[in-house]
Amino acid sequence: MEAKKIIENVQGINGGQTTNGTLRLTDYHIVFCAPISPPAELTKATPAAPPKTRERWLTFPIFSHCTFRPTPPGSRQASSIRIRCRDFTFITFNFANSEAAREVFEFIKVRTCKLGTVERLFAFAHKPLRNEREVDGWHIYDPRAEFRRQGISEKLPDKGWRITNINKDYTFCDTYPAVLVVPSKISDNVLKYAKDFRSRCRIPTLSYIHPVNNCTITRSSQPLSGITRKTNVQDEKLVAASFSVSVSGGSESGTPMSSQLDVSSAGSTQAPELSESDKFEDEMIAQSVLMYDEKTGKRLVYGAQQSNLIVDARPTINAVLNQVQGMGSENMDKYKFATKIFLSIENIHVMRSSLNKVVEALKDADISPLPPNRELLQQSNWLKHIHDVLAGSAIITRQVGINHSHVLIHCSDGWDRTSQLSALSQIMLDPYYRTIEGFVVLVEKDWMSFGHMFRLRSGHLNHDDWFSVQRDAFAGTKVNPGENDGRTDAFQNVISGAKRFFNPNKDEDEPDVASEAASGKVVNEEATTPKMVSPVFHQFLDCTYQLIRQYKDRFEYNERFLRRLLYHLYSCQYGTFLYNSEKQRVDARVMERTSSVWDYFLCRKQEFTNPDYDPTIDDHVIGKERIILPRLKDIRWWYQAFGRTDDEMNATLDAFALSESERQAAVSRLHNSGTPSLNSKPPNLTASQSVLTAVETAHQTLTPPSNPSLKRSVSAEGIGTSAGLSAGAFAALRDGIANINIGKSVFASATPAEEAASSASNPKPEQEMQEMT
């Protein structure tokens, strides 16, 4: 590739190690070329030979921050450029010539945040190698073929679902795929009347049907119920039809309807090991579906499934506040055939802030060989968020695969947390998605076609705010390996102190937890909006890594496959992740003009294949069952992705796990295993925390005369969830909004009876309000 600029005598610093070399600048990369020093013994034994060089390529879109530190004229100190990358590469370049450093900085800036359009990114100029050209990555995923694999096709017996072409030209919903699968009994005319009730017209539609029990995972966006709690008959019919598909009597191959249920019925010990949190969640959901006729007091049974779920991935308070903006959540009086649960998975702003704190812990990885700041790692709550996403996915997996229930998933717009939960639960349910081909199909289906906004979330065109020039009293100070010049920290400490003085109750790094960014139009402009950038897909890959780490022989792809996919999410070398929707990719003719990222992986399949992979599925053998569930107490830092060693990132967690294991062994030896013991709190995770924050069913059928203690909403507050609201508090918030009048507070108080019933466990009103700020 042609070099536009070449700068000699540049010092590169990475991991506290310095190397002198040459910097080459192309239109799409910065390339650092440095000689490789041969071993001393080899140098003595052989005559001098031309030194070999090593090249380090950095693609411009992967830069997350670039700081230029100039030196004043006549200074003996070197000017420097410090770069942080999204693949957690940290590198500093020191220049002997200050003007050359400035030219490099401006060169990089022009080719990142000044491009103006994604069509000027490397993907549109990249010439793939011959072996990549032989792979047709763009057509690995065929929606009709994938749904045919799941048993849905015009040529196959009707399983209660049909393919509709209502969105073939993307006029029905421009963020949905052209091929949609809906219940057979629902006509396109019903769909047309139902679409306006869901945000962005993203109606409930099928993503996955279980091959054994015909239970399904459908996905949508939030309903537009608003403060008046509007309803839509067509939407109710659509969800009811999705949940009414009957359970099959078993697959043609004779596989039991559920591996766990089949095994446990035989008295085996192979049933899945559930944590106390898992058992609590299942108990809460099971309790909520014991429905009774309000007149006769007799139990009502709606078909074979009695625990069909609507999963709202948002914290309860976020959903309530969205209701003020005209959105909200389902009125369960109209969905009596289902139970609704709220999860405590935070929004894109909280996740972005969390990753930024991880970066803060790692930020000196260029100039220092020291391990990351473990206190900052813990404060980031990154592992807690990974825990919550996995825990929510596990609930969905158990409902579909073990409890034979249908599940509808949504968050706000249905393209962030919904994609995470849907894809991860399918990996846990279906061994096909644990193969390389299956994972490609899954990403194309649940992320690409269903409109995860890769361009918006990834910030491919960078932003001016991510480039800075430091002009201060320290400008002439050279940054050497092992040193931290302290200027950034000192300045940040002053600003942070001022913010804390004026707002002592709010962390300046924490955005509004209730903000879901759900209002307004879909962003079509190509410019990066920093507040819309968030590591949603990164979290999905991290969660998948946790499963691979825990089930080492159950996945065909290896850890490096996930890590390279994370790199190419930001490299912009391929066209796969450059757009926000299937429609945008079609309009841009991306398949004709760029290569698919799957070309890269599939032509190098051996590099990304797990040598320990065992594809055997046998529901009667421990370790070979169809379903896998995450071990939520065994979550670790994905240290390879963060460019660190296992010991640097996980030493504290491993030490805790070892001490906990020894403690449990001691308890067992003392024969006290029958007495419940308090579990210690592992670092970065909340002890025994459930992702479940509330359970809600239809009011008329949840309170039988014989059990008046059951309330409309059942809260998980008692187990320590940070965003949970009690039954009375949640009902008061929602009903207060529904009955809003001029002159009244938006948040009405709970009735005296509700307050009395929940006073022992409910948080105080000021604590509830604090969650919204």
Contact 337, 318 (CB under 8 A): no
599 is in an annotated binding site: no
Give the side-chain half-sphere CA count within 13 A for 419: 25
Amino acid, res. 399? Q
Sequence-ordered list of residues with C-beta below 8 angstroms from that of 583, at least 6 positions apart, any chain: 170, 174, 175
Beta-bridged to residue 68, according to DSSP, are: 81, 469
Sequence-ordered list of residues with C-beta below 8 angstroms from that of 204, at least 6 positions apart, any chain: 198, 218, 219, 220, 235, 238, 239, 242, 408
Contacts 24+ apart (CB under 8 A), 420-423: 420/345, 420/389, 420/393, 420/536, 420/539, 420/540, 420/543, 421/311, 421/313, 421/345, 421/389, 421/392, 421/393, 421/396, 422/207, 422/208, 422/217, 422/219, 422/396, 422/446, 423/447, 423/540
The string over 99-133, giving b where at least 16 C-beta atoms fall within 10 Å of a residue's C-beta and e elsewhere, is ebbbebbebbbebbbebeebebbbbbebebeeebe
Task: Please tell me the total number of residues recorded for the chain in this structure.
Answer: 773
Contact 658, 666 (CB under 8 A): no
199 is in an annotated binding site: no
Q: Per 3-state DSSP, what percentage of the chain is helix, strand, and coil (rounded to 5)?
A: 40, 15, 50
512 is in an annotated binding site: no
412 is in an annotated binding site: yes
348 is in an annotated binding site: yes
416 is in an annotated binding site: yes
Strand 79-85 to 63-69 pairing? antiparallel
CA–CA separation, 384 and 633 (whole Å): 11
Q: Tell me, what DSSP letter sits at residue 36?
A: P
411 is in an annotated binding site: yes
Choose, from 411, 543, 572, 603, the residue flagged as catalytic.
Answer: 411
CA–CA separation, 452 and 429 (whole Å): 22
Single out the residue of 77, 57, 69, 72 nearest to residue 104, CA to CA: 69
413 is in an annotated binding site: yes
Active site residue 215: no
113 is in an annotated binding site: no
Three-state DSSP at 182 gives strand
Contact 578, 598 (CB under 8 A): no
The residues annotated with a catalytic role in the active site are 411
Q: Which residues are annotated as a binding site?
A: 347-348, 411-417
Q: Which residues are annotated as a binding site for substrate?
A: 347-348, 411-417
